[in-house]
Amino acid sequence: MRTWFTVRERCEVCGLRFERSHEETHDYWLGAYTLNFIVTEVAFGVALLIALLVTWPDPPWRVLLYGGAALMIVTPIVCYPASKCLWLAIDLIFRPPQPEDFAA
């Protein structure tokens, strides 16, 4: 079953597989995971900085704690499809498509 946060297996137009793998490694997901992790950490840092600047000198620590936890849970789920697609674009820059990337 396909949900809103999953990425299709192939491009509907050209048939390119969205999960490419190397012969020497099958950890293609690691790049997308790392990219998603970086986006989540940056979003948390920016949100915390803005919240502290707006509420200083008396920040609501409990709200920041629970809000930060919610942000750290929701952000990677929401950004997952975009991080996989962005990682594919980065991978295609450094490793152009091969015939096996289009194989059935």
Note down pLDDT in tens along the chain; length 104 residues.
556 666 778 888 888 888 776 665 566 778 889 999 999 999 999 999 999 999 999 999 999 999 999 999 999 999 988 888 898 889 889 888 888 888 66
Give me the pLDDT at residue 11, please: 83
Give me the pLDDT at residue 54, please: 97
Rounded CA gap, 51 and 53, in Å?
6
Rounded CA gap, 79 and 73, in Å?
11
Give me the pLDDT at residue 42, please: 97
